[in-house]
Amino acid sequence: IKIGPCLPEFDKKDLLHAIGVTFGGVIRSKIIGEFCRLRIKLNVQKPLRRGIFISTGNGNKCWIPFKYEKLPTFCFGCGRVGHGLHECTELTPAEKNKIREDPPFSLALKAELNLVGRESLKLNALSKKLQTQCSYAGNINENRETHLYCEKRSDTM
């Protein structure tokens, strides 16, 4: 899993160990700036975890999101690996219909893989040229709306 960004006040080695233990064990860990990578033993019988709250030194809690690398098919309803929402036996048809509107799990749990090779880089440059660019500009207000500013990229290759 990819973890972060982590606040600089955290001892990342201790943080990685603590997170790994909650999953069932650490196989390998790596720290890259404010982000961390952790290879863990994952129990596929349990739902995927979206992140963890960590207490800071001043008593506040900080949310640290998880992104799973090489994540296979998983259910947007129950969060378990190995099946999709249509095949889920944990949920009733009524629950599945409700979840389709607002799923508790999403593709946001998947980590983006780095593209490698000249052709992949060309394809990536083309897709970036055609994408709408959005940037987050503040916290959620009292109406629970986020502020995103989007614009179509017009740069040329």
- 31 vs 16: CA distance, rounded Å: 9
The helix (run of H) or strand (run of E) holding residue 19 is: helix 12-23
How confident is the model at residue 146, as a pLDDT?
39
Range of the domain at 123: 114-157
Same domain? For 85 and 31 the reply is yes
Which range, of 24-28, 36-40, 68-72, 121-125, averages the lowest pLDDT?
121-125
Whether residue 92 is found in the same domain as residue 151: no
pLDDT in tens, 91-144: 999 999 999 988 999 988 998 754 444 444 444 444 444 444 444 444 444 444
Residues 95 and 123 in one domain: no
Q: Assess whether 122 and 52 both reside in one domain.
A: no
Q: Are residues 77 and 146 in the same domain?
A: no
Q: Are residues 54 and 96 in the same domain?
A: yes
Whether the full predicted model's pTM is greater than 0.75, yes or no, is: no
| 14 and 60 share one domain | yes
Q: Does residue 109 share a domain with residue 119?
A: no
99 and 152 inside one domain: no
* C-alpha span between 104 and 18 (Å, rounded): 25
Cβ neighbours of residue 129 closer than 8 Å, sequence gap 6 or more? 153, 155, 156, 157
Same domain, 121 and 103: no
Alpha-carbon distance 114 to 57, whole Å?
34
- Contact assessment for residue 10 and residue 20, using Cβ atoms and an 8 Å cutoff: no
- Is there a single domain that holds both residue 81 and residue 150? no
| Tally of CB atoms within 10 A around 84 | 11
Domains: count for the chain? 2
- 77 and 99 share one domain: yes
